[in-house]
A = this chain, B = another copy of it.
């Protein structure tokens, strides 16, 4: 267990198991692409501890409440950390969070995307602190996300 994982444990959180793909899904790419000191993270969604897609599914502002959306963004952050752990071995090898692109599966008139994606940013800042955890960010409303997940986030980190 590395220092970031220890902090997670102190917060009562844990990394999920590897994603269990929904039936029929074929995803011919990497969850993390390491290249020249950068780690590019594919779009991740919220996972339950066993690696299945976390409930509830649906649009934020409709079947999914804003509070559930915030929680889904935090779970998405945990799924991204699990992918980084597998790719890097030690989450302390992330020296900076650089870019975060937060996508919310939106009900027609919902607009509070930043408050939803804060579930991700608050987690990363709690774990990595205000310097390493700092990031540029967009938080916007998508017309649809795969498997009707409420939140999807892609990101770029720097690695040592």
What residues of chain A have their CB less than 8 Å away from a CB belonging to chain B?
25-33, 35-38, 40-43, 96, 98-101, 103-104, 106, 108-115, 118, 121-122, 125, 134-148, 152, 154, 156, 158
Q: List residues of chain B with CB within 8 A of the CB of A101.
A: 138, 154
Bound complex: CA of A142 vs CA of B103, how far in Å? 10
Bound complex: CA of A114 vs CA of B21, how far in Å? 12
- Contact across chains for A40 and B143 when beta carbons are under 8 A apart: no
Q: List residues of chain B with CB within 8 A of the CB of A141.
A: 142-145
- Contact across chains for A28 and B103 when beta carbons are under 8 A apart: no
- Contact across chains for A137 and B43 when beta carbons are under 8 A apart: yes
Write the nearest CB–CB distance from A56 to chain B, whole angstroms: 15
Question: Given A140-B103, A144-B110, A146-B112: A135 and B29 within 8 A (CB)?
Answer: yes
Given pairs A28-B122, A35-B158, 10 additional interface contacts (CB within 8 A): A25-B115, A26-B114, A27-B114, A29-B134, A30-B134, A35-B96, A109-B144, A113-B144, A142-B142, A142-B143
Q: List residues of chain B with CB within 8 A of the CB of A113.
A: 144-146
Contact residue among B29, B104, B137 (Cβ-Cβ distance under 8 Å from A100): B29
Bound complex: CA of A83 vs CA of B119, how far in Å? 24
